[in-house]
Amino acid sequence: MRLLSTHARELARLSPRERASFFSRLDADELESLKTLWPFWARPDQLIPPGDWVYWLPLAGRGWGKTRTGAETVRQWAREFALVNLIGATADDVRDVMVEGESGVLAACPRDERPRYVAHRRRLEWPNGAKSLLFSAEEPERLRGKQHEKLWCDEIAAWRYPETWDQAVFGLRLGKQPQAIITTTPRPTKLMRDLLADPLTHSTRHSTFENIGNLAENFLNRVVRKYEGTRLGRQELHAEMLMDVPGALWTRAQLEQAQTGAAHPKLARIVIALDPPATSGENADECGMIAAGLDEARCAHILADLSRQGETPLAWAQRAVEAYKQFEADCIVAEVNNGGDMIETLLRQIDANIPFRGVRASRGKFARAEPVAALYEQGRVKHCGVFAKLEDQMCAMTPDFDRARNGYSPDRVDALVWAVTALALSQDSGGGVFEFYRTMAKADRRQE
């Protein structure tokens, strides 16, 4: 395309009159094509790097442009290769971020190049005959036997089951140069450490601030200014690989030892534990919500981290009841220090017969968590997969935990503590950690 040797950054430095002159020399087709001309808009580090690499790993902060980079790489690969597949952390992430998102594949492509999204078959069908199969990292078995010429793996550091990556690598074997782009915010998981140490990996590190001119003012106010200068900000904005915190109750190695994958033994009891926020809205704390069970050997199993931020009280109460039914739980456990009777009232508005146990904290967060951390040291708590955000909070819990310095309230950890304590420690606590308000629970037993 003529005249488009100019780059968007150079164009931005021109005066309004010079920019108007530039656009006036483009015809209608060039103006339309300019919208989706990635080499024009991309920063150099967002373009496919040269070299004999197998894994391209751009570690980047929030808002840097990871999704757009992954989508544009898929778009370019699909012009030359027949099978360019996508793997996201969840099925929702694949659909809502990688495919249909504002920076996803469909948005990145001009109309004549845009693939057809066949949702029920989990695939993209490109106009030139290429295909992109869509996979969720929550279903590693679906990748067994599948082959790939090229792959886009998104947020791999948050994949619940690391074995998904093993299955993906086994299938990355078609063509002369099988390759994968792996877009993620870094976490010091074993998978991430292994990738960074692999000589086949081309890795780069990027900050949110490299793309600051394209970020909405709301994002700057809500995310960047809130987390800049905090430990969480170092990870989420500056893409730092944060290692263990001295004095924290948990270490990364300890949590890796606790991970078992999806399977768990027969469970004698299951609870849904809540740590509700005092307020609602986008600036409110998260509602910590954990599903956990106890096996017959009195080992606790963390089944799911269902925590979410920004919900109304009715919304998180509804989700808690849904989780109670989904996991066939015995009861819902919730901290009532702030909400008091309101929490039980909300739950009973949704289901009048819901078994409920209110817990009232009588000691600080760290003191409440210490007995639970001791169970981890004894190997008496297992994680059914990786719970990225929960584990980040666990590995930051120190005696002098400072919400301002860390950038969040450890609501996920609080919910985990309530869950494990209710399952494995309630008879031994003597009321020193909290007081229980008991209700009748189911007596049935269940098998996975």
Q: 333, 311, 332, 310: which is closest to 321 by C-alpha?
A: 332
Q: Quick check: 367 and 433 in contact, CB under 8 A?
A: yes
Class for the domain spanning 35-236: alpha beta
Q: What is the CATH number of domain 252-437?
A: 3.30.420.280
Which residue in the block uniquely carries the two structure tokens 């063509």?
175
Instruction: Quote the pLDDT of residue 16.
Output: 76
Decide if pLDDT at 94 tops 80: yes
Residue 236 token pair:
């989420």
Instruction: Quote the pLDDT of residue 448.
Output: 40
Decide if pLDDT at 406 tops 70: no
Residue 98 token pair:
């990688």
Instruction: Quote the pLDDT of residue 25.
Output: 78
Instruction: Quote the pLDDT of residue 405.
Output: 57
Q: Enumerate the domain spans of the chain.
A: 35-236, 252-437
Model-wide pTM > 0.85: no
Residue 159 burial by Cβ neighbours in a 10 Å radius (0-12, 13-18, 19+): buried
Decide if pLDDT at 402 tops 80: no
Question: What is the average pLDDT value for the chain, to the nearest integer?
Answer: 86
Region of poorest pLDDT, from 12-16, 375-379, 425-429: 425-429
Residue 445 — pLDDT band, cuts 50, 70, 90?
Answer: very low
Helical H runs in 186-298?
Answer: 190-197, 217-219, 225-227, 231-236, 252-258
Q: Quick check: 299 and 381 in contact, CB under 8 A?
A: yes
Region of poorest pLDDT, from 67-81, 225-239, 367-381: 225-239
Tell me the per-residue pLDDT of 349-361, one tens digit each, with 9 for 90 and over. 999 999 999 887 7
Q: How many whole angstroms separate alpha carbon 327 and alpha carbon 331?
A: 10
Residue type, 48: I
| DSSP assignment letter at 141 | G
Give me the DSSP letters along 40-108: HHS-GGGSPPPSS-SEEEEEE-TTSSHHHHHHHHHHHHHTT-SBEEEEESSHHHIIIIIISSTTSHHHH
- Helix, coil or strand: residue 436: strand
Q: Answer with the residue of higher pLDDT: 226 or 203.
A: 203
Decide if pLDDT at 195 tops 80: yes
Tell me the per-residue pLDDT of 321-333, one tens digit each, with 9 for 90 and over. 999 999 999 999 9
CA distances 132 to 84, 175, 245, 263, Å, are 5, 15, 41, 30
List strands edge to edge, sheet with 179-183.
116-118, 123-125, 131-136, 84-88, 150-154, 179-183, 55-60, 201-206
Q: Answer with the residue of higher pLDDT: 341 or 94.
A: 94
